[in-house]
Amino acid sequence: MNESIDTAATPGGFTPEPAKARTDRKGRTYSRREFALSWASAFLGYLFCRTFWVWKKPAVGMIFSVCLYAFAFVFFHGQKRRARSLFYPVSALILSTAMFFSSSPVLLFFTFAYICFSFLMYCQTGSQSALEIRAGSLYVFETVKAHVVSPFRNIGAAVGAVSSDKGGKKIGKSFIFILAGTGAAIIPTLIVLRLLSFDAGFTGILDNIKKTVFDRLFSHLLSVAFGVPIGLFIFSAAYTSAHPAADAYTAENCEKIENRLKFAPGLVGVIFVVPLLFLYVVFIAAQKDYYAAIFNGAPPAAYSFSEFARDGFFRLCAVAAINAIVLIALRVFTQKTGGGKISPAVKIPTVVLSLVTVIISATAISQMMMYVSAYGLTRLRLYTLWFMGLLILFFIAAIIKQFAEKLPFAPVALLLFVVCFGLIAVPDTDAFIARHNYDCWLSGSTTELDVGYLGQIYPSSGPVLCEIAEDVNVPQNLRDYAKRELRAHASKSETTFSLPQILADRAYKRVTNPERNE
């Protein structure tokens, strides 16, 4: 009889683990790859802390993005993953290029936030425990599970992977002892520092050490301290995805929750919405002065350009927020028809409310464009226009949803956001703002050129500031102002590796060429 060695059991009935696997105290089994990645997750946590203020170090942000998804790809190598999950790493890595092409702190921060969001969604939606094969009606539940449930299920898995190896356990204990010893040494060190602080030479040397060494060292130690728990979180999200287990957060349970919430008949929704619609009709009819002002290209007599634009934007925000809440309530709490379709009593008010929001959004965009045509662009004005345009797309998608009921609204909304965000984040919109304002001033469509604001959006505005400094047709005071802004930024020691910085440095070197100085 020839029995396989792999299936033979020991006298105690124990089946030995494969040679490449290790088991921790809780019975979780780890491969050599997971053991190595547990240490890599700690480095990712450290890198996350170094990247958080991403507009200061965009190059580090790009490194973090690549390392994060390289970690995920290695972790899931050889596993069967759901195809829908590929959207997240692809979109995140494309958007991460904004850290090289753009210099806007707001856009860079939201890019970094999306990269982190996408990593958790990639882990969740690619797992065999994902709620849906394709993104659908349970997308919101999936998002909650990806960020709140799954990453905490195996939060200690990284520690288990490290402690499953004898060498790793020793290194881990040594690291803990080092941290404990460092903490214990703080109090006596502070006491001695206080006793010796009377000596001016001693304190002078310490100040130099503090500026050159301690501040940087402390910054890195702080990143390590916060990075370790973040690394645990990252490893747990990937480990839970790679080792799916049964839990209460299933598609069936989520559908039951969704069905229980639908307790109100569709007629109740209509009764609730009708008074609101009546007020909107009256409101739109009463805005004839607004519409006349938009067509005439001048604000009403009681408004300045800025007041007119702000009034339209804040009014839109209030209307959009109210309508969004009402539409979500109609979607969540009203019952469907016997055939499982959206009730006509819900479709009609949804379409009407969405159209009202689109009309008010278009009006607000027109008001903002009047402001921009008079005074030029700023980051806030450009982001406001972008946001209002995105709102229009969202509410148009809500209208389409009423006629194409199989259309998953939440995934479509995310896709619209990613595409629109990519259009404003990846290109250097600050450079576009600087160029637009300068060209409008040269053409005479605007009467003022705010050189100070161009200095605020440096380095993207660097080439334009150099043009202003060199252009003999520009008034001397503006040329001098541009030169001061350029010198002020050139004197700063901190630089970032990005395309705007490279172009700004190149333009500045051309202006400051000794052979061309005045």
Listed residue (130, 42, 53) closest to 86, CA to CA: 130
Tokens of 227: 């990075």
The total of other beta-carbon atoms located within 10 Å of residue 96's CB is 25
DSSP, collapsed to helix, strand or coil, labels residue 414 as helix
477-486 pLDDT, tens digit each: 999 999 999 9
Angstrom distance (rounded) from CA 369 to CA 429: 17
Does 172 have pLDDT greater than 90?
A: no
pLDDT reported for residue 247 = 79
Does 18 have pLDDT greater than 50?
A: no
Tokens of 507: 């333009």
Average pLDDT, stretch 412-426? 95
227-237 pLDDT, tens digit each: 889 999 999 99
Tokens of 165: 């190896």
Does 96 have pLDDT greater than 60?
A: yes
User: Which neighbouring-strand residues pair with 23?
Assistant: 29
Angstrom distance (rounded) from CA 126 to CA 112: 21
Does 423 have pLDDT greater than 90?
A: yes
Q: 248 Cβ partners below 8 Å, 6+ apart?
A: none
Q: Which H, E and C letters describe 338-405, residue by residue? A: CCCCCCHHHHHHHHHHHHHHHHHHHHHHHHHHHHHHHHCCCHHHHHHHHHHHHHHHHHHHHHHHHHCC
pLDDT reported for residue 517 = 46
Does 334 have pLDDT greater than 90?
A: no
pLDDT reported for residue 114 = 96
Average pLDDT, stretch 109-133? 93
Average pLDDT, stretch 489-512? 81
436-467 pLDDT, tens digit each: 999 999 988 888 899 999 999 999 999 999 99
pLDDT reported for residue 276 = 82
Cα 373 off chain centre by: 30
Listed residue (191, 189, 193) closest to 202, CA to CA: 193
Angstrom distance (rounded) from CA 46 to CA 227: 4
pLDDT reported for residue 2 = 38
Average pLDDT, stretch 196-200? 60
CB 285 within 8 A of CB 351: no
pLDDT reported for residue 14 = 34
Does 370 have pLDDT greater than 90?
A: no
Mean residue pLDDT across the chain = 82
* E-state strands within 224-383: none
DSSP structure class, residue 23: E
Angstrom distance (rounded) from CA 37 to CA 12: 33
pLDDT-based confidence at residue 12 (cuts at 50, 70, 90): very low
CB 468 within 8 A of CB 461: no
Does 313 have pLDDT greater than 90?
A: no
The total of other beta-carbon atoms located within 10 Å of residue 171's CB is 13
pTM higher than the cut 0.95:
no
Does 16 have pLDDT greater than 60?
A: no
| Torsion-angle region of 132 (φ positive above 0: left; ψ -120 to 50: alpha; else: beta) | beta
53-63 pLDDT, tens digit each: 888 888 889 99
Tokens 């690394």: give the residue.
231
pLDDT-based confidence at residue 13 (cuts at 50, 70, 90): very low
CA distances from residue 366 to 302, 321, 372 in whole angstroms, order as listed: 18, 20, 10
pLDDT reported for residue 21 = 57
199-208 pLDDT, tens digit each: 566 566 666 6
Domain ranges of the chain: 19-257, 262-425, 429-516
pLDDT reported for residue 518 = 44
Cα 205 off chain centre by: 43
pLDDT reported for residue 451 = 92
Query: In angstroms, what is the C-alpha Rg of the chain?
Result: 30
CA distances from residue 372 to 230, 304, 307, 380 in whole angstroms, order as listed: 43, 13, 13, 11
DSSP structure class, residue 55: T
Read off φ and ψ for residue 264, nearest 5 degrees: -95, 135
CA distances from residue 284 to 289, 353, 359 in whole angstroms, order as listed: 11, 13, 9
CB 356 within 8 A of CB 280: yes
**DSSP character string of 428-446:** -HHHHHHHHHHHHHHHTSS
36-92 pLDDT, tens digit each: 899 999 999 999 998 888 888 888 899 999 999 999 999 999 888 988 999 999 999
**DSSP character string of 73-94:** HHHTTTS---GGGGHHHHHHHH
